[in-house]
Each structure stands twice: as C-alpha cells, then as structure tokens.
Chains A and B, each alone.
Chain A
Amino acid sequence: MAQRSIRFRIRPDGRVDEVVEGVAGDGCQALTERLESRLGTVQQRKPTAEAFLPAVQKLALNQQSLPIQGLALDPLT
C-alpha cells in the first residue's frame, strides 16, 4: 500500500499551485489531468524533487510569527 498525496494551494487570485507528494502513480496522473482540463492552463511544471522543498520552506516561513523571524535574524540576543 502506498499513500498518494496531492497538495494544492489556491491563491487569492485563483492561481493554483499543485504538488504531487511521494512517488506519483497512475492515480495522481489521472487526477492531475482531470483537474488541469477543468481548471486551466498550466503555467509552470517542475519535477517534485526540485519544487517540493522550496514550497515547504515557503509555507513554514509564512506560518512563522514575526518574533520568531526576529530571533532567527539575530541569534545572539
């Protein structure tokens, strides 16, 4: 048994970022194609290995509160 996950981020302007997690099988491909036919034009497509980590890092940054970012910027205080 393998778990297939697809993570979507729907931005306020309606653009959709899609990340297929794990090793994508035929199921992910079918869902991806079904979605893309209804949603619209693919602007960008990258292999997950490159794309997934930066997406997670960006997500983590967005969720951090300001004091934590300040701490990270000035670790000596």
Chain B
Amino acid sequence: MSHFSTLKTELRDRQALVEALNDLGCSPLEGAQPVRGYRGQTVTADLAIPQAEGGDIGFRFNAEAGCYELVADLDLWRQPVPIERFLARLTQRYALHTILAASAEEGFQVSQQTNHQDGSIEVVVTRWDG
C-alpha cells in the first residue's frame, strides 16, 4: 500500500559504494587490501583508498550486520573534511546511486532530480502501469 518511509541508510551494496566514493574523488582499490595505520600496522579491508602519507581509508564488509564499515586510523585522518562529514557525504551519494539503480531495474524513469539549498537531493521516479 501507499506509504511514507524514512530509512537510515546503510552501506550494503558494493557497486553503489564504489560509485559514491568515485563521486567524492576517492576511487578505491577493490579486493582484499591492506589498510595502513599507525607505525605501518595494517588491517585487511575489502575496499581501500591508499593515502600517500599512510593512514589509508578502508571499507570492510561486516557479514553479521550485512553492511560495509569504514576502517581507518583516525589519528592519521588527513582528509579535508572531518570523518563524520566524510561519512555523511558518502552515505548521501550512496543513497542516490542506490535509488537510481534500483529504480531503473524496476522500470521507473527519473522525472525530476533537484539539489536543494539545505543540501538534500530530491529525486522523483515514475512509471506507467497498464
């Protein structure tokens, strides 16, 4: 039935996550990748964005939660935005890619896409059913 839902976005789909990272200018390496932290210690992640000065950013799939989680040594965080802002922007781009891909798969077309001043993105998809 018709409804109104609010979803807390989780990073579940690898393809949409990669596209969202590309949007932020952080093209990731895919496959099991070492993520470097303090004094060259590493952990293995499923996606990694190597940083020239160490302190890589990685994403690890948490099978129990069914979603990707960011893994990084926060003491070595050198991005232009704080990690909370980075994750928020990433999650927004992830949600956009997921909505566009799933809509196309179900035969919906994008009839409107608007960037609002409050930073939100509005997307309207439509389909004609016989």
Given contacts A47-B3, A48-B3, contact A3 B126 (CB under 8 A): yes
Total interface residues on A, CB under 8 Å, equals: 52
- Show the binding face of A for B, using Cβ within 8 Å: 1-25, 27-28, 30-32, 34-52, 55, 59, 62
Bound together, the chains give a CA A18 to CA B106 distance in angstroms of 16
Total interface residues on B, CB under 8 Å, equals: 47
Which residue of A12, A19, A24, A52 has the most chain B CB atoms within 10 A of its CB atom?
A12
Interchain Cβ contacts under 8 Å between A and B, 18 examples: A1-B130, A2-B129, A5-B125, A8-B124, A10-B92, A10-B123, A11-B92, A12-B88, A18-B5, A20-B4, A38-B98, A39-B12, A43-B5, A46-B3, A46-B5, A47-B1, A48-B4, A62-B117
Q: Ordered nearest first, which 5 A-B pairs have the shortest CB separation? A: A14-B91, A51-B4, A40-B10, A48-B2, A12-B119
Among B67, B88, B118, the residue within 8 A (CB) of A14 is: B88
Contact B67 A40 (CB under 8 A): yes
Contact A62 B116 (CB under 8 A): yes
B96 interfacial contact with A, CB 8 Å: yes
Residues of B within 8 A of A51 (CB): 3-4
Bound together, the chains give a CA A8 to CA B121 distance in angstroms of 8
Contact A5 B94 (CB under 8 A): no
Residues of B within 8 A of A19 (CB): 4
